[in-house]
A and B are shown apart, each in its own frame.
Chain A
Amino acid sequence: MLLMFALSPFLVLGGGALLLMLAEVFSRRPSGLAIGTTIVFITSGAFSVALWLYGIEFLPVGILSPWILVDKFTLFFNVLLCLGGALASLLAGGYLVEYKLNRGEFYSILLFATFGGMMLASAGDFLTLFLGLETMSLGAYALTAFRRASPRSAEGALKYFLLGSFAAAIMLYGIALVYGATGSTDLARVGAAFSHGVVTSHPMALIGLVLIVIGLLFKVSAVPFHMWTPDAYEGAPTPATAYMAVVVKSAAFAMMLRVLLTSFGDAESMSWSAGWPPALAAIAVLTMTVANLIAGRQDSVKRMLAYSSIAHAGYLLVGVVVALRSKEQAAAGVIFYLATYTVSTIGAFGALILLGSYGKEAVSYDDLAGVGKRHPAIAMAFSLFLFSLAGVPPTAGFFGKWFIFRAAMDSGFYWLTILAFINSVIGAYYYLRVLVFMYMREPQPGAAIAVPMQSRHVKAALLLSAVFVLALGLAPTCTLDAAIAAATTFRM
C-alpha cells in the first residue's frame, strides 16, 4: 500500500490519461476535458507534495531503485512538471476551442507526455531514462503536428521528429558504449565505475560519454543542436509550444542534472583539465549569445519567444557547469530557475494566445501595436511576464538569475558570470521591444488588428502564472528551500 502511495503521482497521471481518453470517446461535449486534465495534473502534483511532507525515508522506495528513484529531486520536478502541464492544458482549453481544433486527444497526449517527463526526472537507470525520454518526445512530436490543416505545423513536426529521433539514436549508442565499458546501465554503478578510472582504460567510455552529452544537449536545445527549436515552436499550436518550452525543457534539464551529477560527477572526470566541463561552458556561452542575437532580429513574437527559450537554456547550462564543481548550491539554482522560468514562459505564451482570436492572431510585433491602450489588463500581464523573463526585480526571473550567477561567482567562474550577465542585458532588448510596441506605437491605418479571444480558461491560467511570478519574486525563500532540499539528493 505504501508502495502504491510512493508511486501515486505516476499512477494518478497515467490512470487519469486513460480515463480522459475514455471520457473523450463517450462525451459529446469535449469542453470539460481541459478542466478534467487540469484536475488530474493538480491531483498528481498534490500527491507529490503529500509524499514530500510524509517523508520519503518512511517509504519502501528501495525496491523501485534504480528504475524509479523517489527522492526529493523527483518530487520537486513532479510538482513543477504538473504545474506546467496544468497551465498548458488551461491554455489549450481556450486555444483549441477558438481555433476549431478541439479534439480530445490533445489532453491525453499532454498527460502521457508529462508522465514520460516525470519518468525522465526520476529515472536512475539508463533503461527507464530512455523510456521516459521516448514517451515524452513522442507526445511532443504529436502535439507539434496537431494543427493537421497547417503546412507549417506538419513541417515543424517533421523537422522536430527527424532531428529528435536522430539525437535519440546518438544518445542510445552512447548508452550502449558506456554499458560496454562499465557493464551496467545503472547510473550509480556507472558513476562508481567512472570514479575507478574506467575513462582512462576504456576509450569507448569516453566516446559514449560524449555521445550521451550530445543527446542531452539536443534535448535542452543548446546551440549547435538547436536548429529544430524555432521551427517546431513556431509550427506547433501555441499551448503545445508553451508546453514544450516549459515541461519538455524542465524534464530534459532534470535528466541532464541527474546523469551528469550521478554518473559522471566524480572529482577526476569533472576536473577542469578533463576537458569537457570547459567544452560545456563554451556551449553555454555560445547558446546564450547566438540565441540572444538571433532573437533580437525576429519579426514574430512567437519565434522570438522560441529563441528566448534557447537563451534561457544557455543560462541554465551555466548553472549545470557550475553544478559540476559545487554540486548543491548551483544545482539548487538550476532547479529554482526552472520553477521561475516555467511560470514566466507559460504566462508569456498565454498572454500571446489571449491577445489573438481566430483569423485575427497576434503573431508579429506589429500586431501588438497599441495593445497597451486597447487592452490594458492583458498588456500589463504580458509586461509582467516579459520583465520576469528579462530578470527585472521584483519578479521571479530576477531571483532565478541571481541564484545561478551567485553560485557561479562563489565557485570562481568569474568570466562565465560576466558573459552571462552581458547576455541577460542583451536579452532585455527584445523583451522591452515588445513593451515599446504595446505602449508607444499605434497600429498602421488599415492594418489588421489582433482581437483578444474570450476565454475563462486562458484568463485563469494567466492569473495563476502572474500570482506565481509575483510570489516567487517577492517571497522566494520557501521554494528556494525546497530546491535546496531537492539538490541535496546529489550530495556524495
Chain B
Amino acid sequence: MSTMNLDHFVVLSAILFTIGSIGFLVRRNVIVTLMSIEIMLNAVNLALVAFNRAHPANYSGQIFTFFVIAAEAAEVAIGLAIVLAMFRLHRTIRTDDATLLKN
C-alpha cells in the first residue's frame, strides 16, 4: 500500500470524470446519459475523500461526500420522473428525438 499515494487517487478520479463527461456528450440514450452523470459525481466523491486524507484536520471532505450522495439520489428521482413523462408523450428516450423546441 505504501506505493499508493494521493496522486493515484486524483488521477483515477480525473479519468473517471473524463469518462463520465465524454459519455454525457457522446451518448444519446437518456438513461446512459444519467449514468454518465453518476460516474462524474462518483469521480467527485472519490476526489473529495482522497483529498480529505491529505487534509486530515477536519472531515469536511468526507462530510461533503455524504451530502453529494444524498443530493445525487434526489436528482436521479426527479430525472427519472422527467424521463418517464418524456417517454409517455414522445414514446422515445433518445435525446436527438427531442426536437420540438428549436432555436
User: B-contacting residues of A (Cβ < 8 Å)?
Assistant: 126-127, 130-131, 134, 138, 141-142, 145, 148-159, 161-162, 165-166, 168-170, 172-173, 175-177, 179-180, 183-185, 204, 230-231, 234-235, 294
Contacts and interface: CB of A to CB of B under 8 A. Distances in A.
Interface in B24-73: 24, 30, 33, 37, 40-41, 43-44, 47-48, 50-51, 54-55, 57, 60-61, 63-64, 67-68, 71
B37 to A, nearest CB: 5
Contact of B78 (A161, A168, A173, A234): A161
Given A173-B17, A180-B54, A154 B40 contact: no
Given A158-B83, A176-B61, 4 more contacts: A134-B71, A142-B81, A156-B101, A166-B21
B101 A155 contact: yes
Given A161-B78, A173-B40, A179-B51, A131 B67 contact: yes
A154 B67 contact: no
A166 B75 CA distance: 11
Given A176-B44, A230-B101, A184 B71 contact: no
A127 B54 CA distance: 19
B44 A148 contact: no
A489 B75 CA distance: 33
B95 A162 contact: yes
| Chief secondary structure at chain B's binding surface | helix
B47 A176 contact: yes
B11 to A, nearest CB: 12
A152 B102 CA distance: 11
Interface of B: 10, 13, 17, 20-21, 24, 30, 33, 37, 40-41, 43-44, 47-48, 50-51, 54-55, 57, 60-61, 63-64, 67-68, 71, 74-75, 78-79, 81-83, 85-86, 88-90, 95, 98, 100-101, 103
A185 B61 CA distance: 8
Contacts of A170: 21, 40
Nearest to B90: A151
A157 B82 contact: yes
Given A169-B37, A169-B41, A176-B44, A158 B82 contact: yes
A179 B33 contact: no
Contacts of B41: 169, 172
26 contacts: A127-B67, A130-B64, A131-B67, A145-B81, A151-B100, A154-B88, A155-B86, A157-B86, A158-B98, A161-B78, A161-B79, A162-B30, A162-B79, A168-B75, A169-B40, A169-B44, A172-B41, A172-B44, A176-B47, A176-B48, A180-B10, A180-B47, A183-B57, A230-B101, A234-B101, A294-B103
A360 to B, nearest CB: 21
B24 A166 contact: yes
B78 to A, nearest CB: 5
B64 A127 contact: yes
Nearest to B6: A180
A173 B47 CA distance: 8
Nearest to B17: A173
A104 B28 CA distance: 34
A134 B63 CA distance: 16
B75 A138 contact: yes
Contacts of B81: 142, 145
B64 A179 contact: yes
A173 B24 CA distance: 15
A145 B82 contact: yes
A117 B1 CA distance: 44
Contacts of B86: 154-155, 157-158
A5 B53 CA distance: 38
